[in-house]
Amino acid sequence: MASSTHIRPATAADTDLIVELVRDLAVYEKLEDMFVATPAVIREALFASERPPAEVLIAELDGKGVGFALFFHNYSTFLGKKGIYLEDLFVKPEARGHGLGKGLLRGLAQIAVQRDCARMEWSVLDWNTPSIDFYKSLGAAPMEGWHVFRMTREAVGALAEGSPGAK
């Protein structure tokens, strides 16, 4: 019997599933030590406000949540249009090979078209060649000449207080 797949928007009832999937992603990316989100924090951020900072699509295989895509809008001043930034995309290893990753990206592309977004962007770890190859197979291309920068909470605080460069 063929497996049944479905992509749908997340609801507050999915909070524990989202936390589980994010934890699984952190393990996969070898970043588990950075994972600190709790169900309460995720529920508050994604489902308790009128304008949540991010949205989530859930991938289901035979009625069970096995993957997710978390995204939010960004804006291009050059294009004068909003875009979609894909923060996280993950499908549990045992559920791969059923088209769920492609389904999540297709769902995200449909949202981008519906909302008149100019583009979709995301980052991928340089060692993650299976994902890089997958993204390229869908028509995505790496951005040449760009580097991702990040300031930690401590660096942001230092800069806000006038001591840039403090760690």
Active site residues: 135
For 118, half-sphere exposure in the C-beta direction (CA atoms, 13 angstrom radius) is: 9
* pLDDT reported for residue 164: 73
Q: Is 111 left (phi over 0), alpha (psi -120 to 50) or beta?
A: alpha
Sheet holding 64-76, edge to edge: 5-9, 55-61, 64-76, 81-91, 120-122
Mean pLDDT computed over 75-94: 97
* pLDDT reported for residue 3: 87
* pLDDT reported for residue 165: 67
Q: For residue 87, with 0-12 CB atoms within 10 Å meaning exposed, 13-18 middle and 19 or more buried, which class applies?
A: middle
Shared domain check, 105 and 137: no
Shared domain check, 42 and 58: yes
Domain carrying residue 100: 5-122
**Last residue in a domain, options 122, 137, 157:** 122
Shared domain check, 137 and 80: no
Q: How many structural domains is the chain composed of?
A: 2
56 pLDDT band, cuts 50/70/90, is very high
Shared domain check, 86 and 151: no
Cβ proximity of 118 and 82 under 8 Å: yes
Angle between helices 15-28 and 39-47 (to 10 degrees): 110
* pLDDT reported for residue 10: 98
Shared domain check, 84 and 28: yes
Cβ proximity of 88 and 28 under 8 Å: no
Joined together, the tokens standing for residue 97 give: 């090979």
Among candidate residues 22, 75, 26, 73, the one with its CA nearest the CA of residue 52: 73
Mean pLDDT computed over 19-30: 96
Q: What is the pLDDT of residues 34-43, one digit of tens each?
A: 999 999 999 9
Question: Does residue 11 carry a pLDDT above 60?
Answer: yes
What are the start-end ranges of the E strands in the chain?
A: 5-9, 55-61, 64-76, 81-91, 120-122
Shared domain check, 34 and 46: yes
- CA-to-CA distance for 116 and 90, rounded, in angstroms? 25
pLDDT above 70 coverage of the chain, percent:
98
